[in-house]
Amino acid sequence: MGPVSGTTTRRVLLAFGALVALFAAASGYALGRLSDIHDGTHALREAGGRAREARELATAVRDQYAHLAHTIILGNDSHRRFHSEAARGRRR
């Protein structure tokens, strides 16, 4: 096997350098997108908290309505205490 010419060595080094540059660019892009995913995760957690609060509020309103309806249907104050407890439970 004969000696390798200078142009072949230069081409191999250039190709290897281009490959390293490509990997570096791809890694930088991936790290940038990782930051976007991180921000999206925080936004999702915050939205989940708001959804939980909305569900709790809907449950409290439903309970108050049911107790008030029972009070009206029965025509007495037997469910008034439950209505007041449901109202206090939501204010916590």
pLDDT at residue 67 in the model: 79
Query: How many helices (DSSP H) and strands (DSSP E) are in the chain?
Result: 2, 0
Asked if 69 and 57 touch (Cβ cutoff 8 Å), the reply is no
The C-alpha atoms of residue 90 and residue 9 are separated, in whole angstroms, by 76
Total-model pTM: 0.47
* 45-68 pLDDT tens trace: 889 889 999 998 898 888 888 878
